[in-house]
Amino acid sequence: MAEEARLVGSSYGAENAEMVRQPVLSPDFDFLYKVEASGPFNASHCFQCRKCTNGCPVSFAMDIFPDRIIRLAILGQTAEVLNSRTIWICASCETCSTRCPNGVRIAELMDYFKELAVEAGIRPALPAVAVFYRTFLDNLKLTGRVFEAGLLPTYWVRSRQVVSMFKSGEMRKNVEQAVKLFMKKRLSALPGAVRGRGEIRSILRSSRPHGRSQ
């Protein structure tokens, strides 16, 4: 926290007075230019009002609050941003982007940063979330639609949670839930297939995931 405050020149808390006297980093705006060129995200319009953070329903589980993520991005602190838990735990609820007085697309930036992190080969701070998203998209490649009965088991295996879930009793709860869904005819044992699934596969195979679509 103290380290972060030193970097961003934060005005929160008691560390402030000390911070003012510190030589603040020289910002590297190249990252901001890159971000803005991939937008429109309007990151540079941020004036640090914290409205985004104040309305964020997941701030309790974040390591760096959304307003600080934006500030760090502006200052070119890519490592802090791309290694944060925040970009992965963001629930994409769009409250921040909706309320920002300056039209900063915070939620969209969170997505963009996730893609950059993946592209840069950075180990996600919350691997489970990344594995879930990847499993979901791989699941789509099968048939072009979500095959629900296959999604969670594949995710548990890939995120290496099976053993710990058995130990903690989580697996029993999940299996019970699945059985209930099945009994209530809410879980199909077979996926429904889309005829154009070749097309879906080629969309998902795109080599440049965050390239702007044509």
Partner 1 sequence: MMKATYYPGCSLEGVARDYADSIKCVCALMDVELQEIPDWNCCGATAAHSINRRASIELPRRNLRLARTLGNPDMLVPCPLCFNRLKTAVHDLELRNPCSEPPQGLEFPKIWDLAAFFATDEKLEKIASRVQKRLEGLSVVSYYGCMASRPPYITGAPDYENPLSLDKIVKTLGATPIDWPYKTDCCGASLIVSMPGAGLKMVEKLLDMARRFGAEAVVVSCQMCQGNLDMYQDRIEADTGKHYGLPIIYFTELIGLAWRLAEAGGWLSRHFIDPVPLLLRKGLMAGRG
Token representation of residue 55: 């309305």
175 closest CA partner among 153, 151, 148? 153
**Between 29 and 59, whose beta carbon lies closer to partner 1?**
59
86 closest CA partner among 45, 52, 38, 39? 52
Buried-exposed string 70-89: b where 16+ CB fall within 10 A, e elsewhere: bbbbbbbbbebbbbbbbbbb
Token representation of residue 137: 């998209």
131 binds partner 1 (CB under 8 A): yes
**Between 22 and 206, whose beta carbon lies closer to partner 1?**
206
Judged by beta carbon distances under 5 to 8 A according to partner kind, the member of ligand SF4, partner 1, none in contact with residue 206 is partner 1
Say which residue the tokens 């990151």 belong to. Answer: 43
82 closest CA partner among 53, 113, 112? 113
**Between 18 and 94, whose beta carbon lies closer to partner 1?**
94
Q: Give the count of beta carbons closer than 10 Å to the beta carbon of residue 14.
A: 8
Residue type, 75: L
196 binds partner 1 (CB under 8 A): yes
5 closest CA partner among 108, 75, 57? 75
Tell me how far, at minimum, the Cβ of 165 lies from partner 1, in Å: 10
**Piece of the chain touching ligand SF4 by CB under 6 A; list 90-98, 140-148, 151-159, 175-183:** 90-98
Identify the residue among 8, 10, 19, 67 touching ligand SF4 (CB under 6 A). 67
118 binds partner 1 (CB under 8 A): yes
Helix (H, G, I), strand (E, B) or coil at 11: coil
Name the residues that contact ligand SF4, by CB under 6 A.
Answer: 46-52, 55-58, 66-67, 70, 90-96, 100-102, 104, 106-107, 110
Name the residues that contact partner 1, by CB under 8 A.
Answer: 40, 57-58, 60-61, 89, 91-95, 97-98, 107, 111-112, 114-115, 118, 126, 128-134, 136-137, 140, 144-146, 148-149, 152, 155, 159, 173, 177, 180-181, 184-188, 192, 194-197, 199-200, 203-204, 206, 208-213
